[in-house]
Each structure stands twice: as structure tokens, then as C-alpha cells.
Amino acid sequence: QVQLVQSGAEVQKPGTSVKVSCKASGYTFTGYYMHWVRQAPGQGLEWMGWINPNSGGTNYAQKFQGRVTMTRDTSITTAYMDLSSLRSDDTAMYYCARVRLYSGTYYFDYWGQGTLITVSS
Amino acid sequence: DIQMTQSPSSLSASVGDRVTLTCRASQGIRNDLGWYQQKPGKAPKRLIYAASSLQSGVPSRFSGSGSGTEFTLTISSLQPEDFATYYCLQHNSYPWTFGQGTKVEIK
């Protein structure tokens, strides 16, 4: 069965970086794009970008350009999201989510359990 | 960026009620829209894709409609397990954008 298992919660200081991992299993890792979505406490969902695990190509939301880096390690079927220059408003639950392309449309079909990143001095 | 506006922001309803949630796009997005359900402390769950196609395993009381700029999610007979927050997501152009959510609460 498809599973996306994310790394554990972290507390980081402002100005530092954090790297969240998303271990995929139960499917061909390189066959599906992986997206990252975040959710601040009590707020809505915010799309951050995607990585193509096959090529390593990426597409980031303009809001995060220059601060976010998405990578992958195909040998261990894991995707990573690195966010730098952390601010207090980066405090959020971060999700990885697999996207399926089906009949010419897309949807998120599997999600990780989420990783809570708290930015606090 | 395409703005997605959901209405209402919240609603109170009773078990058995028919409820309709609306999502409006700031520009036409064809039918490049999905609906997701999120319960507290959980990741979102897929409900509808391509505006009106029901995801496998989702109860038939859920239905979606619309195209272009106006979309609806209807729950024909609200069940206790349906109390949650619902989000629309457009994937017509980057950045993909979510609506702000509609919270469905028990009356």
C-alpha cells in the first residue's frame, strides 16, 4: 500500500533552516510528482511547489522562491523540502502529497502525516 | 495568481441536511478543480476531481459541479462523519491555489 512517512516535529530559531523528509513506499517513486503543502495553525492550506522525482526538476511558488529547495534521493525513495531564513510565520504543519495524473487532470491522492515546524527564539 | 474564494466560511447544519458549498475562481479555470475534506489533526482527503468526478470510495452523497469560475460541492444528506473543513484547489495554473476553506459544524 502507498505510504508517505514524514520526519518528526522540529523547533527552529528564526533565521535558520529546516529540512523535512518524506519517505515513500508501496509504489514506483519516480513515477509520480511530489508536492509540498503547508498549513499554519488554524489556517488554510498553502501550496509550496513540486519535485519530479525522476528528473529532479522543480517548480516553486513565487512566494517561496529563493528560500525553498526540494530535492530527492531515489536510492531511498525519499523527497526533501528545505526551507531557509525561517521566520515566525513559517510555523506550520508541512505536508508532502503525491499527485496523480488521471484522464488529463490532477489530484492529490496520498498525503504524508505532516511535520510540525515551529519557529521560535 | 488565481484567487479561490469559498463561501460561506462556516456553516452550521444538522444530520440529514442538504448543504452546498461554493468556490469561485478569480479567472476561468475550466474544470481544473478538486475538493478535499480535512478533519482536525489529519491530512486532507480527496473527494472530487475534475470539478465533478467522485473519487473512488467516496460516498455518493457527495457531488461536485461547475466549470469556469463557479463551482459547488453538495452533500445531499449530511452525516456525522461529514463535519469537517472543506477546501477547493485549482490546478489550472501555477501557483496552485486553495480556497480558504468552509467549516461545516454541527447545529
Strand partners, B102: B86
Interface touch B95/A47, C-beta < 8 Å? yes
Interface touch A111/B43, C-beta < 8 Å? yes
Q: Count the Cβ atoms, other than its own, within 10 Å of residue B65.
A: 14
The residue whose grid cell reads 523535512 is A20
DSSP calls for B57-77: TS-TTEEEEEETTEEEEEESS
Per-window interface: A 20-79 vs B, CB < 8 A: 35, 44-47, 49, 59, 61-63
The one-character DSSP state at A9 is P
Q: Could you give the CA distance from residue B58 to residue A74 in angstroms, rounded to a whole number?
A: 32
All cell numbers assigned to A86: 525561517
All cell numbers assigned to A39: 498549513
Between β-strands B102-106 and B10-13, what pairing exists: parallel, antiparallel or unpaired?
parallel
Could you report the per-residue pLDDT of B77-99, keeping only the tens digit for each? 999 999 999 999 999 999 999 99
Residue A121: band (very low, low, confident or very high) from pLDDT cuts 50, 70, 90? very high
- Nearest residue in chain B measured CA to CA from A111: B43
Q: Name which of A118, A98, A116 is nearest A23 in CA terms.
A: A98
Read off the pLDDT of each residue in A24-30 and give the average, rounded to a whole number.
98
Q: How far is B60 from chain A (nearest CA, A)?
A: 18
Mean pLDDT for all residues in chain A: 97
Looking at the predicted structure, is the pLDDT value of residue B38 above 90? yes
B98 touches chain A (CB under 8 A): yes
